[in-house]
A and B are shown apart, each in its own frame.
Chain A
Amino acid sequence: MAYNLKEVVKKESRLVSGHRMCAGCGAPPAVRGVLRALKGEDNAVVACATGCLEVSTCIYPYTSWNNVSFIHTAFECAAATLAGIETTYKSLKKSGKLSQDKTTKFIAFGGDGGTLDIGLQSLSGAMERGHDITYVCYDNGAYMNTGTQRSSSTPHFADTTTTPAGKYIPGKTQPRKDLTEIMIKHNISYVAQTALFGNLKDLYEKSEKAIYTEGPTYLTVFSPCPRGWGYPTDDLMEIEKLAVNTCFWPLYEVENGKYKITYKPTNKLPVEEFLKTQKRFKHMFKEGNEWMIKELQEEIDKKWNYLLFMEEITNK
């Protein structure tokens, strides 16, 4: 059935209002969007890494998680925790302790800190072992829950509280870690990068594939943070759009080794268009710092060309 936003939003939401996430944050619509791809009749267990999402959605004695079971254990081990749950599901199904006709899906959510940094080992292990789980990273490019410290996902040159743009050091001096490619190299069946783009079709379809592809799958969603990035809360969707149209955040998926760029901007915008919407890149526009924008643009073009190349050769 063709995607229809008006239809899919009629599904009962699995993350409901009452949570304390900030206005203008990308994470709640990302989570709701991912969970919307679950079939109505299917249940799910969500495991959450410590982070904004967890501390804002399950404050005792309340929970915003609806029509799913939810667990949080610690920062670095959402994948391992979920692996234990998924394995026990298999075990209990096998021994007849759970009914055979009901399906439960297993989804982890972690920020980029809990995924690319401290949780990388746990994630890599779970992916390698082949658990039937979907790991979703909501990537806002820093440790936002503790106050915008740099992570390995922080963009090159970004100003964070531990890579402050100063007199001698111009923000983060290293480019981003490309976890999507690292996940692809785990040779799992489905890896995708998505954003809150347009009518959320890209997010929905990739989530559906990720959740319903057997075995481990990885999905990363571009999740702006108004406090950490410095933008007015109502700019969320505009920033998402610019990230995609500048190819700062390419939308693509890799299914059984085949690359597919799911959106190619007809008019690829220069990265400045994205950078100028956020305070964290403000220093890059100062006189004498033009080289930063140039270098970042080169990095973006390199990745984009790499994706075009991979799409071509993996589909031959």
Chain B
Amino acid sequence: MAIRERLSGNEAVATAMKQINPDTVAAYPITPSTEIPQYFSNFVSNGTVTTEFIPVESEHSAMSACIGAAAAGGRVMSATSSQGLALMFEMLYIASGMRIPLTLICGNRALSAPLNIHNDHSDAMGVRDAGFIQLYCENNQEAYDNTIMAVKITELTKIPVMVCFDGFITSHSVENITLMENEEVKNFVGEYKPTEYLLDEKRNISMGPLALQKDYYKFRVDLANAMRNSKDIILKVSKEFEKITGRNYGLYEKYMMDDAEYGIIVLNSTAGTVKDTVDNLRKKGIKAGVLKLRTFRPLPFEELPKELTNLKALAIMDKCDSVNGYSAPLFSEITSAMYTASLNVPTVNYIYGLGGSDVKSTDIEEVFENLQNIAKNKKIDNVTYYLGLD
């Protein structure tokens, strides 16, 4: 029986973690994800979980301790945001390079400077090449669901997983959500049985060696292949999840896309605003649609172009900037996938909402208006826009 609850995103994730009952959690406080270790240490203190919690002295140590804990043979989770994720940067590559299964919750927040605690995707995008699977969530329900699925995905792929959702917008907003029963979660994630781990009583192992040129190269290619192959595992785990909950997850979600002429690709909570705008535009007869990416890593580079073939114009929206003098990550990567699939749809990049700046439905209307003009005039005046700057 599903349980109806009213929870903030952070509470929803902490609840998922409680139901997962990992062996070890190591975390350091940082806005806006601080509440997750806070709620969780409450569970630890009151014996609701059997997890050991390590209140580390930095995010670098949080990720280091998580790597150690997972290498030891434990099921491991952590949470962070922004500067915290940036401080973990070095260790993220080591986690994936060592093929360490762990789940890292990321309440997305802008990066300094200037200091800003509000939401954008600079943090997660900054570590996009770290070899983590990245799952993005539109709302509290998805944050809860993806946290539970992440545990299975990371253990089956042996690639660490980040679950990303928007700081404050999702982390602090309270929504009605549906929880699974404790037993359902327990059965879904199952008992973790590591195959190679430091505390194996039957044999000792060495981990984290120095690897010279050819061996290093092979390890990195193995990781790249594992990331490619993870698509199937993510879909398989999502199917199993759907059987229990009825909630369907793919690599992305399409909303009114099948017959759309004007499309937007976007991540996280802004997808909700775009869906609402699409509804309004549809009433006016404008064929608008939105594709919300769930997995930025792995990038569904084969699947995405196939969904875009009917479009007359496309806007790819990035809540971060690459500061490369051109465009932002989502745009660069998806247009690259379109190019290699020989798909030539006029496409523009909208950078928006940096440092938590509001994104209103009127802003999204402006994007769709521009797409209509591009389609009509058959030309793009400008590739990259900064939306919502007065």
> Which residues of A approach B to under 8 Å, CB–CB?
43, 45, 47, 54-55, 58-61, 63, 65-74, 76-77, 79-85, 87-92, 94-95, 97-99, 102, 104, 121-122, 124-126, 128-129
Contacts and interface: CB of A to CB of B under 8 A. Distances in A.
Contacts of B206: 58, 63, 65, 69-71
A81 to B, nearest CB: 4
Contacts of B24: 84, 87-88, 91
A84 B209 contact: no
A83 B58 CA distance: 13
Contacts of A95: 23, 50
Give the top 3 A-B pairs by smallest Cβ distance, nearest first.
A84-B68, A125-B57, A84-B65
A45 to B, nearest CB: 5
7 contacts: A59-B210, A71-B206, A83-B56, A85-B198, A88-B23, A91-B50, A99-B201
Nearest to B74: A88
A97 B24 CA distance: 13
Contacts of B58: 121-122, 125
A87 B52 contact: yes
Nearest to B200: A69
Interface residues of B, number: 43
A48 B71 CA distance: 14
A83 B199 CA distance: 14
B90 interface: yes
Contacts of A94: 50, 52
Nearest to B54: A87
B55 A60 contact: no
A54 B23 CA distance: 28
A167 B128 CA distance: 49
Contact of A82 (B50, B68, B207, B211): B68
Contacts of A76: 60
Contact of B91 (A74, A102, A125): A74
B1 interface: no
Given A84-B54, A85-B72, A122 B61 contact: yes
B338 interface: no
Contacts of B51: 91
Given A102-B201, A121-B61, 13 more contacts: A59-B210, A63-B206, A71-B68, A73-B94, A77-B64, A80-B56, A83-B26, A84-B66, A88-B68, A95-B23, A98-B199, A121-B57, A129-B55
A91 B70 CA distance: 12
A105 B206 CA distance: 16
A87 B73 CA distance: 11
Nearest to B94: A73
A130 B244 CA distance: 42
Contacts of A61: 209, 215
Interface in B62-94: 64-74, 76, 90-91, 94
Contacts of B26: 83-84, 87
B215 A92 contact: no
A122 B60 contact: yes
A90 B74 CA distance: 11
A84 B64 contact: yes
Nearest to A59: B210
A129 B58 CA distance: 13
B28 to A, nearest CB: 10
Contacts of B71: 71, 81, 84-85
Contact of B73 (A59, A68, A74, A92): A92
A17 to B, nearest CB: 16
B212 interface: yes
Contacts of B67: 73, 81, 84
A49 to B, nearest CB: 11
Nearest to B203: A69
Given A88-B52, A95-B50, A81 B65 contact: yes
Contact of B64 (A97, A122, A129): A122
B208 interface: yes
B92 to A, nearest CB: 11
Nearest to B95: A73
A292 B56 CA distance: 42
A85 B208 contact: no
Contacts of A85: 68-69, 71-72, 198-199
A58 B210 contact: yes
Nearest to B197: A69
Nearest to B24: A88
B61 A104 contact: no
Contacts of B90: 74
Contact of B208 (A71, A82, A129): A71
B94 A74 contact: yes
Contact of B204 (A58, A68, A81): A68
Interface string B26-56: 1000000000000000000000001110111
Interface string B183-224: 000000000000000111100111111111001000000000
Contacts of B23: 88, 91-92, 95, 97
B68 A81 contact: yes
A95 B23 CA distance: 9
Given A74-B94, A102-B201, A80 B211 contact: no
Contacts of A126: 61
A267 B366 CA distance: 87
Contacts of A80: 56, 60-61, 64-65, 68
Contacts of B209: 58-61, 63, 72
Contacts of A54: 210
Contacts of A98: 199, 201
B199 A89 contact: yes
